Amino acid sequence: MIIGRHSEPLGPLPQRLSPLLLAFGPVRFPFTFMGVMAFGIGLWVVAYLAAHRSLDPPSQGIAVATALLSWGFGGYVLVRRIRRGPQS
């Protein structure tokens, strides 16, 4: 199933509504946008840690792990995009 396509009719619709009103073309998930946002979230977490040095050690550890995971995911997505092109 492609996102945005209905596999079967939805049933009777009022005459003024088109059956394609809620359907739209195939949608490609925005992985590049997700990669850029992951970098941004990691940067925001590091800035938050720098501004709030009084956090307890477990909270700092969770925040550092979040930043590293975000940067790892963002790096993977963007490097994959650069190596394989936009359609892979």
Give the start-end residues of each E strand in 7-88: none
pLDDT at 58 over 90: yes
Query: What pTM was estimated for this model as a whole?
Result: 0.62
Give whole-number Cα distances, 35 to 28, 30, 47, in Å. Answer: 15, 9, 19
Q: Residue 7 has what pLDDT?
A: 52
User: pLDDT category, 65, cuts 50, 70, 90?
Assistant: very high
The total of other beta-carbon atoms located within 10 Å of residue 38's CB is 21
Question: Residue 86 carries which side chain, given as an amino acid letter?
Answer: P
pLDDT at 20 over 60: no
Q: Residue 19 has what pLDDT?
A: 53
Q: Residue 45 has what pLDDT?
A: 95
Contacts of 33 (CB under 8 A, 6+ apart): none
Domain boundaries, the chain: 31-84
Q: Residue 12 has what pLDDT?
A: 56
Can you tell me the distance from the alpha carbon of 42 to that of 63, in angstroms, rounded to the nearest whole number?
9
